[in-house]
Amino acid sequence: METIIEKSRTIVPDPILRDYDDASRTFQWKDAYDRIEWFDDGRLNIAASAVDRHAGSWRKNKVALYWQGNDRARKYTFLELSNLSNQFANVLTDTGIEKGDRVFIFLPRVPELYVSFLGILKTGAIAGTMFAAFGPEGLYDRLHDSGARYLITDSELKKRVYEIKDDLPDLEHIFVIDEIDVADDEISYPEAMKTASRTFDVAKMRPEDPAFMLYTSGTTGKPKGVVHKHLAIVQQHVTTEWVLDLHEDDIYWCTADPGWVTGVSYGMLGPWSCGSSVVVYDGRFDPDAWYGIIERYQVSVWYSAPTAFRMLMRAGEAYKNYDLSTLRHICSVGEPLNAEIVHWGMKAFEMPIHDNYWQTETGGILIANYPSMPVKPGWMGKPIPGISAAIVDGDGNRVPYNTEGDLALTPDFPSMMLAIWKNPAKYAEYFKKGWYLTGDRALQHEDGYFLFIGRADDVILTAGERVGPFEVESALIEHPAIVEAGVIGKPDQLRGEIIKAFVVLAPGYEPSDDLESDIRKFVKTRLAGHAYPREFEFVKTLPKTRSGKIVRRMLRAKELGLPIGDISTLEE
Ligand code: WT7
């Protein structure tokens, strides 16, 4: 029997969630639409809802963003953020931007990232973010597929873009944030901002108009462009209140990068829409630096991921060297939060870490351990009011409690993705018999809590990030010595899973330490750090179906010493 930890004393949940059962029974999304003046004549803009709303209120001089770089720090009020993003929206408008144009940001977590993201949304264009660790391949996949017309980057990162720029016919304008003298086909961001007006007529969008997009990995093919709509702000707002428990005086730190959905929905939009002060730390993971951020900024609400908490746990009692007494609520997302970490959190921070579950595609939190409810360590929690989640079998029928099945949702919530960019077939694959299928396996206890079991597909969850095996395999087989590669997630104490690659060598090549280190170097230049295989194994053949597809589940079963399962469709 798992322990149930009572809620932390310092929690002040939104009134609607003081009684979860009642809220789940009675809540309707239209209540959330009515609660706040989101709409003007049926129209809205996600950036105005998040930031401008406060810039025009008594909160205008409240700090919206505390930015901490490695050796400098800055802060921006809601009014400043609103003005700066208006300026950038004017800059974009002067270049002839049109609604629906794709504008991608390729930057570290610098203030310009946040300003330009909001500015793009204000013009009605679609904002895309890319993690600064991406190499040319990852950039090409995103910029080419989306047909991005604009890119915002810096003098260092732009070098990677130039490696592929000739293959990006749609890319017209490149903004560089840290150069005044730029090449003819580039625009200096600081120069352009100097003369831009602070007032801008924010585009009034229909709720279903696209606002931002993020690429995410599936089992097969290249990453897919998940497109989100302006209406998503409604769910991001209410879940920030209900789940993250953000209130007026909170100082909130989300450790996720805006290159991933958590850094967009809960690193910017949700918390700002609640009028909260957000801390951004543009630096590497390091236990002392992290605890130092909490102490220096007096962080009260902290949203991070299981791997980060496990890395902190490995750092022993480092937390004792810092004053973390301002913390009052901690949340986690992205991969299973094992019970051990929850118990460690109790020891280190004197409060439970609250797990919650969602996906890039869902744009907002779906299932959570609420501040107002006991935490069941190891369990993801219960669906938010307005979400109906179920465990179903292969035919879309509900299965009994405590039975493993596919985790499914009714896709009728505001932050549900609008589309997969230019790929309606892929989008359609998510839906079956009225359900949206998450691709995850789970079960539900009769008390209503959901337990995550694993992915239903071959997608790898490593250090809280989602990696498609196909992308890693594609990078590997570009090495001249490799003819075939199969990639799996292998359970790992720290990272949840690590990436393991099985490779078949071309004739004339023999396994050796030199060859392995050459392959390692090669893939490092092609894949972002998180997608890089930590283990290699040379094999003679890979298990395949008769149609020639690599059967990763067999590689995984063999690696873990598990039963191999049905092999009737296999080649040999
Ligand atoms: C996949 C989505 C949206 C948050 C960042 C990840 C896994 C997410 C949990 C959790 C166990 C989780 C699922 C999901 N996942 N949260 N609390 N417990 N697994 O977004 O990159 O789209 O990944 O992450 O497998 O489908 P993402």
**DSSP helix/strand/coil, 159:** helix
Rounded-to-5 percentages of helix, strand, coil across the chain? 30, 25, 45
Longest distance between any two alpha carbons in the chain, whole Å: 72
Quote the crossing angle between the two packed helices 306-314 and 287-297, to the nearest 10°.
Answer: 110
Evaluate whether 226 touches 215 at the Cβ level (below 8 Å).
Answer: yes
> How many Cβ atoms are within 10 Å of 537's Cβ, its own excluded?
14
Give residues (CB < 6 A) around ligand 1.
216, 261-262, 333-337, 355-360, 380, 438-440, 452, 455, 461, 466
Tell me how far apart the alpha carbons of residues 343 and 334 are, in angstroms, rounded to a whole number. Answer: 19
Identity at 118, one-letter amino acid code: L
**pLDDT value at position 168?**
98
Quote the ligand 1 centre to 440 CA distance (angstroms).
9
The size of the chain, in residues, is: 572
**DSSP helix/strand/coil, 319:** helix
Quote the ligand 1 centre to 141 CA distance (angstroms).
22
Evaluate whether 132 touches 108 at the Cβ level (below 8 Å).
Answer: yes
**pLDDT value at position 177?**
98
Tell me how far apart the alpha carbons of residues 466 and 154 are, in angstroms, rounded to a whole number. Answer: 26
**DSSP letter assigned to residue 51:** I
Evaluate whether 363 touches 376 at the Cβ level (below 8 Å).
Answer: no
**pLDDT value at position 6?**
58
Burial pattern 561-571, b for ≥16 Cβ within 10 A else e, equals eeeeeeeeeee
> How many Cβ atoms are within 10 Å of 30's Cβ, its own excluded?
10
How many distinct helices (H) and strands (E) make up the chain? Answer: 19, 27
Q: Which burial class, exposed, middle or buried, applies to 444 when counting CB atoms under 10 A from its CB (0-12, 13-18, 19+)?
A: buried
- Residue closest via CA to ligand 1's atom 12 equals 335
Q: What are the structure tokens assigned to 232, written together?
A: 């998503």
Kind and range of the H or E element at 443?
strand 435-444
**pLDDT value at position 539?**
94
Nearest to 472, CA basis, from 511, 523, 525:
523
Per-residue pLDDT of the chain in tens (572 residues, 90 and over written 9): 465 565 555 666 777 888 899 999 999 999 898 877 789 999 999 999 999 999 999 999 999 999 999 999 999 999 999 999 999 999 999 999 999 999 999 999 999 999 999 999 999 999 999 999 999 989 999 999 999 999 999 999 999 999 999 999 999 999 999 999 999 889 999 999 999 999 999 999 999 999 999 999 887 778 999 999 999 999 999 999 999 999 999 999 999 999 999 999 999 999 999 999 999 999 999 999 999 999 999 999 999 999 899 999 999 999 999 999 999 999 999 999 999 999 999 999 999 999 999 999 999 999 999 988 889 999 999 999 999 999 999 999 999 999 999 999 999 999 999 999 999 999 999 999 999 999 999 999 999 999 999 888 889 999 888 898 888 988 898 899 998 899 999 999 999 999 999 999 988 899 999 999 999 999 888 888 778 899 999 999 888 876 677 889 889 988 988 876 655 555 54
- Which of 254, 269, 310, 358, when mutated, tests ligand 1's pocket best, judged by the most ligand atoms within 8 Å of its CB? 358
| CATH number of this structure's domain 458-560, picked from the four choices 3.90.850.10, 3.30.300.30, 3.40.50.150, 3.40.50.300 | 3.30.300.30
Q: Which burial class, exposed, middle or buried, applies to 572 when counting CB atoms under 10 A from its CB (0-12, 13-18, 19+)?
A: exposed
Q: What are the structure tokens assigned to 256, written together?
A: 């996720």
Looking from the CA of 129 toward its CB, the CA atoms found within 13 Å total 29
Evaluate whether 196 touches 87 at the Cβ level (below 8 Å).
Answer: yes
**pLDDT value at position 568?**
56
- Give the angle 464-407-351 at the CA atoms, nearest 5°: 50
Residues contacting residue 167 through CB under 8 Å, at least 6 positions apart: 140, 144
Residue 496: left (phi > 0), alpha (psi -120 to 50), or beta? Answer: left
Q: Are strands 102-106 and 150-153 parallel, antiparallel or unpaired?
A: parallel
> How many Cβ atoms are within 10 Å of 401's Cβ, its own excluded?
12
Quote the ligand 1 centre to 334 CA distance (angstroms).
4
**DSSP helix/strand/coil, 305:** coil
> How many Cβ atoms are within 10 Å of 420's Cβ, its own excluded?
21
- Residue closest via CA to ligand 1's atom 20 equals 359
Burial pattern 122-146, b for ≥16 Cβ within 10 A else e, equals bbbbbbbbbbbbbbbbbbbbbbbbb
> Between the CA of residue 166 and those of 143, 170, 172, 223, what are the distances in Å?
12, 10, 11, 21
Tell me how far apart the alpha carbons of residues 119 and 418 are, in angstroms, rounded to a whole number. Answer: 21
**DSSP helix/strand/coil, 316:** coil
- Residue closest via CA to ligand 1's atom 21 equals 466
Looking from the CA of 301 toward its CB, the CA atoms found within 13 Å total 26
Q: What are the structure tokens assigned to 65, written together?
A: 């963003």
Q: Say what the alpha-carbon torsion angle 452, 455, 460, 462 is, to the nearest 10 degrees.
A: 0
Evaluate whether 299 touches 279 at the Cβ level (below 8 Å).
Answer: yes
Q: Which atom of ligand 1 is nearest to the CA of 355?
A: 17
Tell me how far apart the alpha carbons of residues 101 and 259 are, in angstroms, rounded to a whole number. Answer: 19
> DSSP string covering 492-529, please?
ETTTEEEEEEEEEEPTT----HHHHHHHHHHHHHHS-G
Q: Where are the beta strands (DSSP E) in 456-495?
A: 460-462, 465-467, 482-492
- Which of 333, 443, 450, when mutated, tests ligand 1's pocket best, judged by the most ligand atoms within 8 Å of its CB? 333
Tell me how far apart the alpha carbons of residues 268 and 214 are, in angstroms, rounded to a whole number. Answer: 15
Q: Which atom of ligand 1 is nearest to the CA of 362?
A: 3
pTM of the model: 0.92
Tell me how far apart the alpha carbons of residues 557 and 9 are, in angstroms, rounded to a whole number. Answer: 44
Quote the ligand 1 centre to 437 CA distance (angstroms).
13
**pLDDT value at position 10?**
60
Residue spans per domain, the chain: 46-60+72-229, 458-560
Q: Which atom of ligand 1 is nearest to the CA of 265?
A: 3
Please provide the CATH number assigned to the domain covering 46-60+72-229. 3.40.50.12780
